[in-house]
Amino acid sequence: MDFPLIRMRRMRRTEPLRSLVRETRLEPGQLIYPLFICPGEGVRKEIGSMPGVFNLSVDEALKEAEEAAQLGLGGLLLFGLPESKDEEATGAWDENGIMQQALRAMKATAAAKKLVLMADVCLCEYTSHGHCGVVRKSGEEYEIENDSSLALLAKTAVSLARAGADVVAPSDMMDGRVEAIRDELDADGLEQVPILSYASKFASAFYGPFREAADSAPQFGDRRSYQMDGANVREAMREIELDLGEGADMILMKPAMPYLDVIRAARDRFDVPMGAYQVSGEYSMLQAAFQRGWLEPQRAMMEPLIGIRRAGADFIVTYFAKDAAKVL
C-alpha cells in the first residue's frame, strides 16, 4: 500500500467541514452566570482574586440580569452577602434578606422572563463561623450538626422560592436536605419549584476565591466532614442516588475541571438533567494565566467549557458565562 486509505485529515480541512462533524456543541442557553449580591446602592466592587467578577448591589445586579438576558444565557445563580452574620444564619431566611430583596426586584423585570433564576441555598455566607450548618461547640471540640441544620436550610429555601426563585439549589451537603426542603416547599404550596441539588460536591481547594467573594471562609476547621473527599467517585454516585431518591429534579457536579470523570460516570448512570459548576478557582487560575499572557484567553476559555459538556454536563455554571456567550 502506497497511500493511507483512511485519511482523518480530510474532514479537518475547512471550518464548514469541521463544524459539520463536531460532536459537542455549546450554546449560550446552557450557561448559568453566578452573581454575588451585596447591600447598598451603586456598589460594583471587584473581587481581588476574580478579575471581572464583582460584588453587586441589587440595582447593579439588575443590569447584569438585563445583559445576561440579551446574551441569551440560560440563567443566573444568586449568592447573598448579608448585612450581618450570626450563629443561626438569620440573614438566610429573613423576609427582607439580601437574596430575598434581589429576587423580588429581579422577578419584576422583563429580563427575568428569559432567565432561570436560581438561588443558592446554604448557610455559610450567613453564619458568623462560616460553616454550612449549625455548629455545636464544647471546648476545643466542635460538630457541624446535621439534623438541626435541615430545618434552617428548608426555611431558607421556602423564603427564597417565595421571593421569586425559579429553582432552589442546596449546596450545603448535609444529609437529608433535599427531602427536608421538598417537604417544606410542598407544605407551603411551592410544589412546582424544582430543586437543583449540588449532589456531588467535593471538599476543594478551588473554592478559595469564592470564599473571598462571599466572605464565607470557615473561621475554624474545614468543610471535610460534610463535603466529599476528592478521591471518591463511587461515593459521588451514592450521593446522587440519594438526592434523586429524596426528590431532586436536577443534579449539579462541582468542581468541574478536576472531576470530569465523575461527571462522565454520573452521565452514564443517571438520566436526569445535570449541570457542572466550573468553580471560582478554576476561573481564577485561567484568568491569572491570561493576565500574564501565558494562555490565549478565548481558546483557553472555550476548551474547558467544551470539555465539561463532552464529559456529559447539560449546562455549566461558570463565571465565564458572559464572555463565552459573546464568543458564541
CA distance 226 to 188: 28
If one asks whether residue 122 binds ligand PBG (CB under 6 A), the answer comes out as yes
Residue 124 binding ligand PBG, by CB under 6 A? yes
Cell of 277: 459548576
Q: What DSSP assignment string belongs to 245-303?
A: HTT-SEEEEES-GGGHHHHHHHHHH--S-EEEEE-HHHHHHHHHHHHTTSS-HHHHHHH
Q: Which of these segments, 86-94, 96-104, 120-128, 179-187, binds ligand PBG (CB under 6 A)? A: 120-128
Q: Whose grid coordinates read 463536531?
A: 22
Comparing CB distances to ligand PBG, the nearer of 120 and 179 is 120
Residues 201-240 that bind ligand PBG (CB under 6 A): 207, 210-211, 223
SS3 category, 119? strand
Catalytic: 85?
no
From the candidates 137, 201, 322, 326, which is the catalytic residue? Answer: 201
Q: Which of 118, 190, 262, 279 binds ligand PBG (CB under 6 A)?
A: 279
Minimum gap (Å) between residue 76 Cβ and ligand PBG:
14
Is 254 annotated in the active site? yes
Closest by Cα among 16, 30, 21, 17 to 324: 30
Which DSSP symbol is given to 12?
G
Q: Please tell me the distance from the alpha carbon of residue 205 to that of residue 137, in angstroms, as a whole number.
A: 25
| Nearest-CB residue for ligand PBG | 210
The answer to the question of residue 171 lying near ligand PBG (CB under 6 A) is yes
Q: Which is nearer to ligand PBG, 25 or 218 (CB)?
A: 218
C-alpha span between 173 and 197 (Å, rounded): 9
The distance of closest approach from Cβ of residue 173 to ligand PBG in the complex, given in angstroms and rounded to an integer, is 8
Total number of residues shown for the chain? 328
Among 64, 94, 120, 243, binds ligand PBG (CB under 6 A): 120
Q: How far is the CB of 7 from ligand PBG (least distance, A)?
A: 44
**CB-nearer residue toward ligand PBG: 77 or 185:** 77
**Is residue 265 a contact residue for ligand PBG (CB under 6 A)?**
no
C-alpha gyration radius of the chain:
20
Query: Taking a C-beta distance cutoff of 8 angstroms, is the pair 197, 169 a contact?
Result: yes
Q: How many residues bind ligand PBG (CB under 6 A)?
A: 12
Q: Is 132 in the site for ligand PBG (CB under 6 A)?
A: yes
* Closer of 132 and 195 to ligand PBG (Cβ): 132
Output the nine-digit C-alpha cell for 177: 436536605
Neighbours of 233 (CB within 10 A): 15
Nearest-approach distance from CB 277 to ligand PBG, in angstroms: 6
> Which residues of this protein are in contact with ligand PBG, per CB under 6 A?
120, 122, 124, 132, 171-172, 207, 210-211, 223, 279-280
Q: So which residues are the catalytic ones?
A: 201, 254
